[in-house]
Amino acid sequence: MGHPKILTSQTWPTCDERHADAAFPRLPHLRPPRQHPLFMQSKPQVLVWITCDGVHIDPGSGKHTLLGIFSNIRARQFPVVHPLMMWFLTISDVPAGQHRLRISMGLDPTNPAPLIEREFESQGPLTRINLINEIRNLSFAAPGEYSIMIEVDDEPLLATSITVSS
């Protein structure tokens, strides 16, 4: 009779239920439950998307305070330039490693122009990642619904919009 199998990060099932049955044929009590995160493979998720005037990070606690949250912009004449806004984004389910964020915007939802392209690092899929994106002197040529597309590693995660009106 052989020794019991020692489970390590290399031998723990990481894909789907078929692998669990093969890895634990005689030890069903050690098999992860069907809803275990190792059986879920999801793409990164946007948990928070907020447009605001500013973000304060408390130096003691690391907590974020969002200042002046808004969802539309009003102007008397066009074109108009918004001097400063923040796009606060929280994402999760991002695999460990380096990744690329792209935020694009435009009046034509089929052809938004990239406004932000930046690298960020994830410690793993259970980590919530707060990304603060400062936008200065953003020009709006005309009133309308400006489409915003958020992508991570060229994978669209969120399509939303901001209303600009007179």
Kindly give the confidence (pLDDT) of every residue in the chain, 166 residues in length, as a single tens digit, with 9 standing for 90 and above. Answer: 554 444 444 444 444 444 445 554 555 555 554 444 554 557 899 999 999 999 999 999 999 999 999 999 999 999 999 999 999 999 999 999 999 999 999 999 999 999 999 999 999 999 999 999 999 999 999 999 999 999 999 999 999 999 999 9
The reported pLDDT for the residue numbered 42 is: 74
Q: Which long-range contacts (CB under 8 A, 24 or more apart) does 150-156 make?
A: 150/46, 150/49, 150/89, 150/101, 150/102, 150/103, 151/101, 151/102, 151/103, 151/104, 152/44, 152/91, 152/94, 152/99, 152/100, 152/101, 152/102, 153/99, 153/100, 154/100, 154/102, 155/43, 155/44
User: Domain spans of the chain?
Assistant: 1-41, 45-165
At 18 the pLDDT is 47
Q: Which CATH class is domain 45-165?
A: mainly beta
Can you give the pLDDT at residue 14?
A: 44
pLDDT at 12: 43
pLDDT score for 4: 47
